[in-house]
Amino acid sequence: MSPTDNKYTEAELVALLKQRQQSAFSYLYDNYSASLYSVVLTIVTERETANDVLQEIFIKIWRQIELYDSSKGRLFTWMMNIARNASIDMLRSKGFNNNQQNRELTEAVYETVGSVTTNTDKIGLRKLVEKLKEEYRTLVDLAYFQGYTQDEISKMLNIPLGTVKTRLRTALIQLREIVKP
């Protein structure tokens, strides 16, 4: 049995990661990289760039595991936020924008367009979000699947920023209740 075949509870995994156990990090990568990569691809649709972002995400998780607080949420949620933020940061970076302006359109661009929905469907996120009210579904889609900021959503939908924040928080609380065993 290899170290990555082990099954850890979330608390055990976090404890081992904080102890800098390589086997725990391998387990984390093996069991969560596909889901995190799917999140990255919803925001950064270029596969090569998405691979780079995924690598940065795991480096950040390794370096910042001490900041994880289980009283504030699950490990997966914390990692999803890191993935989302890293992806958005990449899109907003000057180097990425310059690269996009200079890049030729190729067929590879068109190949990745349809894959975003498929990847999120595979991990079941879209099905969970579909259980929310329409007003919450729209906001969650824009914020978490399309990568818009709360301010951008507010302007786009002509809704006060406070309302966007409140509805997103309510949506996340409802999703947490849906996911609870």
Domain ranges of the chain: 1-122, 124-181
CATH class in words for 1-122: mainly alpha
What does the pLDDT look like over 27-38, one tens digit per residue? 999 988 898 998
- Helix ranges restricted to H, 19-133: 22-43, 47-64, 75-92, 94-102, 107-113, 115-122, 125-129
Q: What average pLDDT does the segment 57-67 reach? A: 92
Is the distance from CB of 84 to CB of 39 less than 8 angstroms? yes
Same topology, domains 1-122 and 124-181? Answer is no
Is the distance from CB of 26 to CB of 3 less than 8 angstroms? yes
For residues 166 and 29, what is the distance between their CA atoms, to the nearest angstrom? 33
User: Which range (60-69, 76-85, 90-99, 144-153) has the least confidence?
Assistant: 90-99
The whole-number pLDDT of residue 124 equals 67
Query: Using 50, 70 and 90 to split pLDDT, how confident is the model at 153?
Result: confident
pLDDT at position 148 over 70: yes
Kindly tell me the number of DSSP H helices and DSSP E strands found in the chain.
11, 0
The whole-number pLDDT of residue 117 equals 45
Q: Is the pTM of this model over 0.75?
A: no
pLDDT at position 111 over 80: no
The whole-number pLDDT of residue 107 equals 45
Q: Kindly give, in sequence order, each residue whose CB lies less than 8 Å from that of residue 91, ignoring residues fewer than 6 positions away.
A: 43, 44, 147
Q: What average pLDDT does the segment 130-153 reach? A: 82
Q: What average pLDDT does the segment 18-42 reach? A: 90
Is the distance from CB of 91 to CB of 43 less than 8 angstroms? yes
Mean per-residue pLDDT over the chain, rounded: 79
The proportion of the chain whose per-residue pLDDT surpasses 70, expressed as a percent, equals: 78
For the domain covering 124-181, report its CATH number: 1.10.10.10
The whole-number pLDDT of residue 102 equals 47
